Each structure stands twice: as C-alpha cells, then as structure tokens.
Amino acid sequence: MTPRDMASTHAAAFAQSRPWTVQEFSDLLSNRFTHHVGNADSFALFQVIAQEAELLTIATHPTSQRQGLARQRMSDWHSVARDLGATRAILDVASDNLPAIALYEHCGYRPCGLRKGYYLLENNKKTDAVVMECSLT
C-alpha cells in the first residue's frame, strides 16, 4: 500500500475534516517506528516505540464501510504491535465521533485522558479529543 493509496482512502473517509496528504503519509512511513496494516479499502497506521503502540489513523473507504473492516484492522494492528513487543495501545478520537468511540470500546479501549480543543473543525471551531488506552497483553 502506497502513501497515495492511503491519502486517497483517508480523503474519502474523512471528507468532513482535513484528510492527510500523500506527503504526510510518506513522511510517516519513512519513520522506522511506523507500520501499517490493510489495503486500499481499509487500513490502520500506527507506531510502536518500546512497549507502547499508538494508532495514528484508521480509515475505511465509504464504499467499504459497515462490513467489519475497521474492526478487523483494529485486530490486525494490535497483533502486529504485540509481535513488535507492545503491551499497551493508545489512541485519541474526537469526542463527537461516536461511531469510532463505539468501535474502540468494543475493542477493549477505555478513556484515560482528555485533550481540550485538540481537533480544529470547519469555521475554526474546535472539539476535544478523548485519549483512550487498552492492554495488549
């Protein structure tokens, strides 16, 4: 999967916010700690440093949503992170993104922090980010 593939899927999945660019994906993938799972329909991008794994983004193309792909990507990246020695996973999610929060809770995540005004929305509005964690052991 190329940075262009990721940017295309991300743009379709995040049409209501600022999708990541080809260059941003390329820069992230050049980091030895960054990994990905999935394909052009659905992917997860994450970092593993020491015993901690962080989900950077997960995206499913709208034409492939509601088929269990995001849940599968969560399982996939957890598995790779464990293989790389991670024992804890973290992520952040917009506090108003209820479908994503439900997915993460289903995958064992629980809130552990709050970043006030973290996400910039249209018209310079901001929304909080909920920081969530789960054990990979």
Report the 10 Å Cβ neighbour count for 113. Answer: 11
Is pLDDT above 90 for 120? Answer: no
**Mean pLDDT confidence for 83-88:** 98
Question: What pLDDT band is residue 125 in, cutting at 50, 70 and 90?
Answer: confident
Q: C-alpha angle 37/133/62, rounded to 5°?
A: 45
- Cα–Cα distance list, 115 to 91, 93, 98, 126, 131 (Å): 12, 10, 16, 11, 7
Residue 14 belongs to domain with CATH number: 3.40.630.30
Residue-range definition of the domain harbouring residue 46? 3-135
Q: What residues form DSSP beta bridges with 115?
A: 129
C-alpha span between 135 and 88 (Å, rounded) = 5
Convert the pLDDT of each residue in 48-71 to its tens digit.
Answer: 999 999 999 999 999 999 999 999
Measured in whole angstroms, the distance separating CA 52 from the mean position of its chain's CA atoms is 15
Is pLDDT above 90 for 39? Answer: yes
Residue 57 tokens, joined: 């983004």
Q: What is the pLDDT of residue 110?
A: 98
Q: What is the pLDDT of residue 121?
A: 77
Number of domains within the chain: 1
**Mean pLDDT confidence for 80-104:** 96
Query: Among 2-11, 16-25, 57-66, 119-128, which stretch is predicted with the lowest mean pLDDT?
Result: 119-128
Least Cα distance to 38 among 6, 85, 83 occurs for 6
Q: What is the pLDDT of residue 19?
A: 87
